[in-house]
Structure formats: structure tokens, C-alpha cells
Amino acid sequence: MKREIRKLVAKSVFSMIFVAFTFMAISSVWAEEILVYTALEDDEIPGYLNLLKNSHPDIDVKIVRDSTGIITAKLLAEKDNPQADVVWGTAATSLLVCDQNGMLEGYAPADLEKVRAEFRDSNPTPHWVGIKAWMTGFCVNSFEIKALGIPAPQSYDDLIKPIYKNQVVMPNPASSGTGFLTVSAILQMMGKDKGWAYLDKLHENIVQYTHSGSKPCKLAGSGESAIGISFGYRGIMQKQKGEPVETIFPKEGSGWDVESNALIKKGVIKKSSKIFLDWAISEPVMKEYAKVYPLTAYSTGVAVPEGYPAEPEKQLIKNDLQWAAANRTAILEEWSRRYESKSEPKK
């Protein structure tokens, strides 16, 4: 025991003093490690990575997972000294912003030709390649609405009805990709003026803006709120877990975005990064995506998962990702100005 403590002391002292010298050496030895930023859901990542481990045991992947807005902000903050090697499964609008800042390196992964045109950058050597689309869905707690005696909202228009006052939770578009694509969809569908007027009314019904896009659905799942504006996958997974959540796709159509991959432009581009990007749109993993998401970069023959509309393409609104990317900063500033300055909690 005593010896161990002494050893540990020695160890920590050692690391304090010599880490400066050893770190550089270590980082060059572990060249095969790549740093991957992703906004994919926490509970989907392990399944995919198992596939990777089986087919590419030599690649050591270090995952940084966070909400879309945070991954975006992190990438932008590190612009001059990029840390990530690869971005995986992060909103195309965000990657477009990064691309506008010249942070992405073109790369054509294997199987690129299979990918639908609207799921990839139009450059011949694309700067980003999508893997799947995710879309707005309302998570509705069926117990709660029954107890409250209110119907489940079926559309955006329903959501702003006074009966839903204080029953809705929505993600903050600054930090959440789901939040942003929903706001962007509303502005695109309704136009700028009507869109903001709609959001003003919606604000009256919102109890809380959350940090992540999945939290509203989870709050709905535990009854902490009746309705959460979230995305399809989330509600369906929670229903599977036994939570009383129904996922409703608004009848006007869902906002959507493409979870995409990109190669970060930096001094040394590792070989493993490209292998990872090849793998990330390869058939085995694409099939895995398709088991929980109805729309993938290319058809895999996997049936539309339960809980989604039968024809998922029809649920998607006409969405201009370029417009969304170009206006992202302005939209977020306006949003923050309108809804974050309210200091008092709403009654």
C-alpha cells in the first residue's frame, strides 16, 4: 500500500515535470490516432464504432461529441489551429459555414458516386458529403396531454395555440442543430416577416429553451413537459425504451438538414482520416444508419424504420441549405435578441 502510494506520488510528480518533454514524442508515435468531431447522438455512436473496429482495427478514433452548435463553434474557434482531423455526422449548414471560412479540404471518398446530389457538396471533389438527413419532429407525451385534456399538436400552426401555453420545450438554435433547422425551416416556409411573427407567438408557449436538440424530447418523455420540439430519431428511440412518447411530424413538413462528413484542412492530413471518411459512407455503416433514419445518402434497401412517415421524402420541406448557412449568423443574432433578453421566467 505504502509502496503504491509512493509510486503514485512519483508518477504524478513525474507527469507534472516531464509531460512537456514526453508529450511531443508521444504525439508523433501515435500518428494513427485521429480526432473526430461529431454531433451524432450519443446512443448511436457506439454501434457504428463497433463496425469500424471490426473492419479497421488499426485506426484509433478519438471522438468529441457535442451538440451541433457547439461543434460548429468549436471548429470556428479553432480555425487558426485546427484540432479535429475529421468531422462526422454534423449539419451541412454548419459545414457550409466552415467551408466559407476555407476550413475544409476537398476529398472524394470511395462510393461517392452512389450519394444523392442533394446530399453532397456540388464540387467535383466535394468539401462535404452527407450520410443521412434528420428532421423536425414533435415529441408528445401521450399521458400528459390526456391529463391536460389537450389534443396532440399536428402542425406548426397548432403549436402556437393558447392551449399549449407553457407546455412546449424547444432547443436553443444557437447550440442545437435541431433548433436551428426548425427555425430555418419556419423562416423559409413562411418568409422572414411572417416567420419571426410566428416565432414570437411560439415564444409565448415555450417553457424553456434547452441546450441540446434531444433534451426537449427527453423532457417530454419524463413528463417534465408535455411537448418537445425535437427530431424524429429521438422520439422513436425513447418510445422503444418505454417512455409514453409519440413522435409527430408536422403536417406543413419538417425542417431538415443533412448530417455530413468533412475533412479538415490542416498541416498534416492523416491517411487514417481518409480511410475513416471512406468507411463513414460505406454500405455496412449506411445500412446501420438506415435502421434508425429513414433517409440516407443512398438507398440501402433497409425498410423505413417504424414511427416515420411511409414516404419520408414527402415530409421534407423545400430547404435551401446554402441560404441557411449564409444567414446562420444573422438568424442566430436576431433570435438571441428577441428571445434571450427575457430575463424573467415565463409564468
Residue choice 94, 188, 205, 212 for contact with another protein (CB under 8 A): 212
Residue choice 90, 136, 210, 254 for contact with another protein (CB under 8 A): 210
Footprint on residues 215-234 left by another protein (CB under 8 A): 215-219, 221-225
3-state secondary structure of 245: strand
Footprint on residues 79-138 left by another protein (CB under 8 A): 81
Asked whether the beta carbons of 203 and 169 are under 8 A apart, the reply is no
Residue choice 175, 254, 296, 319 for contact with another protein (CB under 8 A): 175
CB-CB neighbours of 335 under 10 Å: 21
Least Cβ distance, residue 43 to another protein (angstroms): 4
Least Cβ distance, residue 242 to another protein (angstroms): 5
Question: Cell triple for residue 144?
Answer: 400528459
Least Cβ distance, residue 84 to another protein (angstroms): 10
CA atoms within 13 A on the CB side of 102: 1
Of 242-250, 258-266, 271-279, 297-305: span binding another protein (CB under 8 A): 242-250
Of 153-161, 190-198, 204-212, 277-285: span binding another protein (CB under 8 A): 204-212
Of 104-112, 275-283, 317-325, 337-345: span binding another protein (CB under 8 A): 337-345
Block residue for cell numbers 504525439: 27
Query: Among residues 123 and 336, whose Cβ is nearest to another protein?
Result: 336
The strand pairing partners of 209, in sequence order, are 170
* Contact between 9 and another protein per CB under 8 A: yes
Distance (Å) of CA 45 to CA 88, 90, 155, 259, 289: 11, 13, 31, 13, 10
* Contact between 242 and another protein per CB under 8 A: yes
CA atoms within 13 A on the CB side of 72: 26
Query: Among residues 251 and 346, whose Cβ is nearest to another protein?
Result: 346
Least Cβ distance, residue 180 to another protein (angstroms): 13
CB-CB neighbours of 148 under 10 Å: 13
* Contact between 68 and another protein per CB under 8 A: no
Footprint on residues 145-174 left by another protein (CB under 8 A): 172, 174
Footprint on residues 272-331 left by another protein (CB under 8 A): none
Residue choice 2, 20, 124, 311 for contact with another protein (CB under 8 A): 20
Block residue for cell numbers 461543434: 71
* Total chain residues near another protein (CB under 8 A): 62
3-state secondary structure of 259: strand
* Contact between 28 and another protein per CB under 8 A: no
Distance (Å) of CA 28 to CA 56, 188, 244: 21, 48, 50
Q: What is the distance between the alpha carbons of residues 127 and 114, in angstroms, rounded to a whole number?
A: 16
Question: Cell triple for residue 256?
Answer: 431538415
Asked whether the beta carbons of 181 and 91 are under 8 A apart, the reply is yes
Query: Among residues 175 and 184, whose Cβ is nearest to another protein?
Result: 175
CB burial of 5-29 (b: ≥16 within 10 Å; e: otherwise) equals: eeeeeeeeeeeeeeeeeeeeeeeee
3-state secondary structure of 130: strand
Least Cβ distance, residue 271 to another protein (angstroms): 21
- Contacting residues toward another protein, per CB under 8 A: 5, 8-9, 12-13, 15-16, 19-20, 23-24, 35, 42-43, 46, 62-65, 67, 69-70, 73-74, 76-77, 81, 143, 172, 174-175, 207-212, 214-219, 221-225, 241-244, 336-337, 340-347
